[in-house]
Amino acid sequence: MERRVGVAIDFSRCSKTALKWGLENLVRDGDHLILINVQPSLRYEGGEMQLWEATGSPFIPLGDFSDPAIAKKYGVKPDAETLDLLNCVARQKEITILMNVYWGDPREKICEAVEKIPLSYLIIGNRGLGKIKRAIIGSVSSYVVNHALCPVTVVKDHHP
């Protein structure tokens, strides 16, 4: 059975740290690497974007979300470092890399993606918020660990 390894990614430093950890420690030949990206809610009047807000985007292959015009269509802004890393790994390992974009609350949408896809594992970064900030705004990683229907690895970003 194929493994579907998910990485929650917003292209921040901590999500890239989680991606690198997953590529080095968990992803194996034959796996599907699914990048889960959550954007703020959309404010469109109609069309396909309104449908995607409810269901999430279709799977977007690496070659497509590497194209700036296609990435912009989904509201995704992958950086060159992440794209280089993914393209390099795709050549070195026999893995399929796809992105799935959701819109809304990251906590809920990441858990929804875990169930909908479904994922075998999920890797998520942790910004290392202090206790006060975490209490006020909540921790996406804490929520996902407690609600996702698959094993979750939280990778802490150790940079100040």
Domain boundaries, the chain: 8-156
* Predicted structure pTM score: 0.88
32-39 β-sheet, strand order? 60-61, 96-103, 32-39, 4-8, 121-126, 152-156
Q: What is the pLDDT of residue 28?
A: 93
Show pLDDT as tens, one digit a residue, over the chain (160 residues): 689 999 999 999 989 999 999 999 999 999 999 999 998 876 655 455 666 777 889 999 999 999 999 888 888 899 999 999 999 999 899 999 999 999 999 999 999 999 999 999 999 998 766 565 555 545 888 899 999 999 999 998 776 5
Taking the C-alpha atoms of residue 68 and residue 114, their distance in angstroms, rounded to an integer, is: 27
Contacts with 41 (C-beta within 8 Å, 6 or more apart), sequence order: 53, 103, 104
Taking the C-alpha atoms of residue 117 and residue 8, their distance in angstroms, rounded to an integer, is: 13
DSSP 19-36: HHHHHHHT--TT-EEEEE
Q: What is the pLDDT of residue 8?
A: 96
Q: What is the pLDDT of residue 55?
A: 81
Please name the CATH architecture into which domain 8-156 falls.
Answer: 3-Layer(aba) Sandwich (3.40)
